[in-house]
Structure 1
């Protein structure tokens, strides 16, 4: 069995954070670490507790969640950050993704969905609200074509890894990729992890953005 996922909640709304922590603690595969209410505490706990996933609010009193996000990504690039926010503006979501977030959830979403997204993030997946996903991708692609380095990275992939990446660009989930390619879900997960490592990406969204900027289009 896989070891439990260590989760750090960073939120200055004590009642909300404590209620979320109590609910997530009921999930047998999640370990909820002490809650951080500010930037300094969050960075200290990230260094000492080594969470796999950080669940982060974008507003921490007078401080910015983006500061936590950027500093965690700089100091601990292996950690996965999922934003859990009352905000829903596309600009804020795009900015968070550019800073390295692999997921964005509204605070109105169910704890069940939060738990599922945490699991996805820990296993190199991610999640964005379906109603804004297309617009977020469009904004991420506005910077123009990926420099030649992107094409060189894609050339490092095996033919099967390129097939899996093409399926990701086509918007398929893991089960759908397995069905299209005649593979098991575990094999798809292995190929996904391998291609992310080769591309030096930390989420499927990052890989899809790089692939599309390098010229890969949905089929």
Structure 2
């Protein structure tokens, strides 16, 4: 029996827990640190209230829980975090250049695995202290999840869109890690561009 590195824990519920934090990292980067998307330039929100709105809307769209305690000041701090997380995506196997930055985030935001519990519920694994601020909690969880993906040899799944004029990031969960684009629109744009290039080559 061969153990898939991504399923190394043997417990899908833990894998999905890590994946949820990776997806939140993707969301923060795409909403707060990307200036090209789907073939055009975009302006990331520049104020705390706008950043907060963008994060909340993106969480809802992704099916992740919104946080009513998220403040505009938190959103500003998360924009800084998003910029620091951005180099992790698209590095492929060349992770050395961004490992130090990720390690610094883990230390600065006090990432520490521990169990959070309530009297009437089972304990829940977290990557931050129970008394952590929202920014520290989100950053510690996201950075730890990214480090876990990289640490089991799956860093190439942390991707950037390969379409022209798109810098959106994504977590490639395909079986053979073959996904190249952030979504269908960029995939179609890339196919159309390749078709035009082939047609042009034939007429030369």
TM-score by length of 2: 0.27
TM-score, normalization: structure 1? 0.26
Query: Higher relative CO (CA 8 A, sep ≥ 6), structure 1 or 2?
Result: 2
